[in-house]
Amino acid sequence: MTKTLRYIKPYGGTVALGLILKFFGSVAELFLPLLLKWIIDGVAANEALNSDQKLRWTLIFGGLMLVCAAVALLGNIFANRLTVKSSGRMTHDLRYDLFKKTCYLNSAQVDGFGVPSLISRLTSDSYYVNQMVARTLRLGVRAPILILGGLILAFTQDAVLACVLLACVPLVGVTVFFITRKSIPVFFEVQRKQDEMVRRTQENVTGVRVIKALAKGEYEVGKFEDVTGDLAATEFRANRMMSLSNPLATLILNLGLVVLIAVGAACHSSSGTVLEFLQFFTIILNAMIALTKIFVVISRGSASASRIESVLDMDTAETIQNCPAGDSRYKIEFRDVSFSYNGVENNLNNVNFAICGGQTLGIIGATGSGKSTIINLLMHFYDVNSGQIFVDGRDVRNYPAAELRTKFGAAFQNDFLMAATVRENVDYGRNLSDEQINRAIDCAQAREFIDGLDGGLEFDLAQKANNLSGGQKQRLLIARALAASPEIIILDDSSSALDYATDAALRKALAREYASSAKVIVAQRISSVKHADLILVLDDGNVIGAGTHEQLLETCGEYKLIYTTQMGAGGEEY
Amino acid sequence: MAVRRINIKDTRNFEKRKVDKKFVIKNLFGYLKPYAPLLALVFFANILGTVSNLVGPWLCGLAIDNIEIRDFAKIAFYAELLVSLYVVSALLEYLSAVGMAYISRGIVKKMRNDTFRRLSTLPVGYFDVRQAGDIISVLSYDIDTVGESLANDVIIVLKSSVMIVGSLVMMIIIAPVLVLVFVVTVPLSVIMTRIIVGRVQPLFRKRSQKLGELNGYVEEITTGQKTTRAYNCEEKIIADFEVKNEEAINAYSRAEYFGTISGPCVNMVNNLSLTLVSVFGALLYMFTVGGMTTGQISSFILYSRKFSGPINEIANIMGEFQSAIAAAERVFRVQAEEPEPADKEGAETLENVRGDVDIEHLTFGYVEGKTVIKNFSLSVKSGQVVAIVGHTGAGKTTIINLLMRFYDAGGGTIKIDGKNVENLTRASVRAAFTMVLQDTWLFAGTVYENIAYGNPDVTREDVIRVCKAAKIHSFITKLPQGYDTLLTDNAVNISKGQKQLLTIARAMLLDSPMLILDEATSNVDTRTEQIIQEAMGNLMKGRTCFVIAHRLSTIRHADKILVMKNGDVVEQGTHDSLMAQGGYYAELYYSQFESV
């Protein structure tokens, strides 16, 4: 957690000022009972004063009480403002650094964390840290000051009575602490069961057709009722436990009061003192309750902080390696490349191929055969385990990442679109000209549907582009890949949702408009790669066929099999 | 199934209209009614507890008065009384809290079950136009809000009201003049809280909205992190994030600035009344004969604390009550949704189906006035294969929706074995079809449960048999617990293609006379498809089949091919006749062989 806390440092001055104000505000509040006592004991019940003096002193002390109340008000308000400011800025900085780090993580690191986990670190975890800091600064200081100050003041007034107070404080603290600690796991359990219920609902909404088709509605209701029954029982258990805390704390304090009166009577304390102590009791009780609430916030916040730190601790410094030059004369060359994601099983075995600028490479094979892995290695998202990959005659590991990747325009499998305008999605922060964007849109066969959208290029996409169909999304992704006229265009299974006619028109336009770019096309459909200068057939990480369409029909049984399956027996006629 | 989703962006912001309180309260009453006796008991315990709590300060005052005159017997007496009183009060407080938790748990459970049961009867169209998240938030968040409000707020309001009235009465008894202090402070604190809440609420709404935007952005970008790196636009993305981050923090700070004012302000008013009570109490003590004892002042001060605390609490809770009522309304709106129309009276059960399907002059539109299917007719004999082709979004799935009676036709008739489906029970019509859809649906259960889902009577041997036929058996046996492996979100690494094979296996277990295949093998790679072709052939044999496919090779041998374009059936015929026609189908067909 130390690393997270260091983010407060730049705002140390603000925090310190806030704490000082808070301190004065809280102390002012503590003076109220003291003044109250002086009014009752020192003035009202003081036989030595005449009535004029009594009136004067009562009003003076009353005025002082008002001043204290005002100081408490202003001190707390300004202190809160300062703590809100510092906790807000601190969260801002932390989140910024975390996001930046996340953007620069390499693919292996992203795989290590998992995307959902990274998202929750950026969203809920950073929120919990914010809560922790804000609450602690706001209440975590006030409560101890009130408790401690209250106790100190009490001791200066009447040591014996103060001991009664002192005895009650830990008792309440321990009781509430234990109840809270015992119920936290139950609340986590409630959360888990709640998630289960949410999942069931989600399943039922997405599977509504299957459930209706199989008339399983009643069955699903039964299963749902099991879950809600379970959830309700756990929730009840948690609430029953938490319901103990308030009555118990109040009871202890109230019993303390009675003891106080008894002790006060025994020790000949003045009624003003007893009255004053009653006030201390109330203040301290409230402070104790606030403290236990903070306890929950801190335990959750520190867990979140350490999750955030594990991302921040990642090393994302770019290392440009110095691999042997290897005299490749091609645009892209794979030389004896082997690779494994997990270090156990190879995902690629001794892959060799090369293409020149302007040529097209097609990659075909079953799911999991290593098609996307070739792309991942080519763009240097991962390091090869053995062999070398050259782009323009230079090992990809010898490039600075930015220099290498500007050569590419890529549409990945299941790539994403932002909730932004069509134009922004195609441009993707590269400040491209209108001409480039329009050319890419035309070539990607996206013109027709974009013109049909409300606002055309300025049409706003919904989150995950839910307001576009699968084929429309793919065409936008392709347009994005083309827009900067890159040296190498990569289309990883990006035309699967297009019908054949559109797919064919896309291929024609690609060849015409981007003739000088090298193209790497990964596909399931043979028609998408048939025209390529070189086609790789992958099976389980091995290249089992390489050549042109015609060559492969002769030499690669697997390719021929795929071809006949897809095109039907009469395929060759056309 | 890729049904066009009408994007309803967060229905919550949608309903700006006034909450129908009468509707909510009437429904809520129905839920509370069974608990009436227990509720009365809880109320009674609560009032009793609060009252005994109220007597406390009074006894304290009496005891303190005795400190002055050193009457230890009396002090002991009051002390004993106080102890028993406080114990009883704590016990009653605990019991009423638990009682209320019990009631709210029962109500929440019933509310969830009722809502879910209603959802299970709603037509498919209801789900097609809504985001799953909206429905989930009604079932979880909204019902929780109602339940929490019941469990906590009701008790607090009850307790607070008793407390307010009780302490007011006690204060009036002790010193009616001093009560005048509250004529100033109570309205002050109520008005202040109101103003602050009024100011703060929109700020908090803005705060959650900005945080939501930030989170949405983070989710997007993190999912597409590789893309960002591929396009070298980390800096641009980070700059965009910075704008959103700044906005979110500013909204947060603004809301918190005002939000954190309310605590000190309320404290201030309390301190003010303490001061006024002390000063005037002291004056009363000094200048009126028999006006007030110090004990009375102390009781009064204790009561004043008990008085002003609850007033603020009630003021705070009013806001929560409003959101609870709004939440309850959303819940009851779902419960009041129109279920799928009941089967016609005397509707027949479709039995011993041959599988002849006749569609006559069918007309349909999802939205009134926007016809998707116009005057469409088709006649299919038992055992024939009908293929539906066309672009994405051309309306292919609409036909399936109508066949399965997920939607009812606007005009025209669909007949199965010569019987109009409108005169048949929905369940029996649906049971006559087996569907394999592009969007595979698996639930969190074991592999076995998922496959046997449609037919719980099957044996394990049956399940293994179909899995072998669907070429997924060896994959399943390699899973950690084989057929008993739990399919949860992330635990098992299972590809889209494998999911599709599992749903094909599920379909093979059903023995329906008709089959619907909607891009059933779109995610299965060609090699596997080749391997399961025989099994698919067996599945289709003797059954009336409706097949949707991109890949034209799979449908070449269909008995009838429907070619759809923009919702219309533009061509109809066999492969050969359509090719000879040289129209849109031929164009589609040639395009897949086109070489550049």
Domains and CATH numbers, chain A: 2-312 (1.20.1560.10), 332-567 (3.40.50.300)
Question: Does A429 sit within 8 Å of B237, measured CB to CB?
Answer: yes
Give the whole-angstrom CA distance, residue B292 versus residue B282.
8
Q: Is the pLDDT of residue B455 over 90?
A: no
- The Cα A251–Cα A255 span in angstroms is 6
**DSSP H stretches of helix in B150-293:** 154-174, 176-223, 225-230, 234-259, 262-287
Smallest CA-to-CA distance from B227 within A131, A414, A184 is with A414
Torsion, Cα B306 B307 B308 B311, to 10 degrees, reads 110
The Cα of A303 is separated from the nearest Cα of chain B by a number of Å equal to 20
CA of A234, closest CA in chain B: separation in Å? 10
Which chain B residue is nearest to residue A26, measuring alpha carbons? B264
**Burial code of B203-224, b = ≥16 C-beta within 10 A, e = fewer?**
bbebbeebbeebbbbbbbbbbb
pLDDT at residue number A213: 85
In this predicted structure, the answer to whether residue A419 has a pLDDT above a threshold of 90 is no
Q: Is B481 on the interface with A (CB under 8 A)?
A: no
Query: Does the structure show a pLDDT above 60 at B17?
Result: no
pLDDT tens, position by position, A214-252: 888 889 999 999 999 999 999 899 888 888 887 888 888
Across residues B143-150, what is the average pLDDT? 86
Contact A255 B83 (CB under 8 A): yes
pLDDT in tens, A512-537: 999 999 999 998 888 888 889 999 99
Residue A205 has pLDDT above 50, yes or no: yes
pLDDT at residue B491 in the model: 45
The pLDDT tens digits for B51-97 are 887 887 778 778 877 777 777 888 888 888 889 988 998 899 899 88
Shortest alpha-carbon distance between residue A513 and chain B (Å): 13
Measured between CB atoms, which of A103, A248, A508 is closest to B237? A103
pTM of the predicted model as reported, rounded to 2 decimal places: 0.75
Q: What is the ipTM of this complex?
A: 0.81
Per DSSP (E only), the strands in B345-460 are 357-364, 373-380, 385-390, 411-416, 419-420, 433-436
Banded pLDDT at B135 (limits 50, 70, 90): confident
Mean pLDDT of B286-291: 71
| Assigned token pair, A372 | 């996307």
pLDDT attached to residue B299: 80
Count the helices and strands in chain A (H runs, E runs): 21, 10
What's the whole-number average pLDDT of chain A?
Answer: 86
Q: Does B349 touch chain A (CB under 8 A)?
A: no
Q: Do B56 and A66 touch (CB under 8 A)?
A: no
Question: Å from B531 to nearest chain A CA?
Answer: 10
The residue with greater pLDDT, B305 or B468, is B468
H helix runs in B366-442, sequence order = 396-403, 426-431
In chain A, the residue whose alpha carbon lies closest to the alpha carbon of B454 is: A214
Label residue B558 by pLDDT band (50, 70, 90).
confident
A544 by DSSP, 3-state: which? strand
Half-sphere exposure (Cβ direction) of A498: Cα atoms closer than 13 Å: 29
Radius of gyration (Cα) for chain A, nearest Å?
36
Whole-angstrom distance, CA of residue A333 vs CA of residue A328: 7
- Residue of chain B with shortest Cα separation from A228: B109
> Given CB atoms, is B142 within the 8 Å cutoff of chain A?
no
Strand partners, A213: none
CA-based nearest distance B527→chain A, Å: 7
**Span B191-243, pLDDT tens digits:** 887 888 788 878 888 888 888 888 888 888 888 888 888 888 888 889 999 99
Q: Cα–Cα–Cα angle for A492, A497, A503, nearest 5°? A: 75
> Nearest residue of B to residue A564 by CA position?
B553
Q: Answer whether A487's CB lies under 8 Å from A406's CB.
A: no
* Cβ within 8 Å, pair A205-B9: no
Return the percent helix, strand and coil in chain B, to nearest 5: 65, 10, 25
Alpha-carbon span B80 to B78, nearest angstrom: 5
What are residue A390's phi and psi, to 5 degrees? Answer: -115, 135
In chain A, whose CA is at the least distance from the CA of B116? Answer: A221
Place of tokens 């597409």: B224
Region of A83 (left: φ > 0; alpha: ψ -120 to 50; beta: rest) is: alpha
Q: Is A163 helix (H, G, I), strand (E, B) or coil?
A: helix
pLDDT of the residue at A349: 92
pLDDT in tens, A269-278: 777 777 778 7
Residue of B90, B227, B391 with shortest CB distance to A248: B90
Crossing angle (nearest 10°) for helices A271-312 and A141-157: 150
Q: Which of B150, B275, B313, B400 to mutate to test the interface with A (most CBs of A within 10 A)?
A: B275
Count of pairs with CB atoms under 8 A, one residue in A, one in B:
456
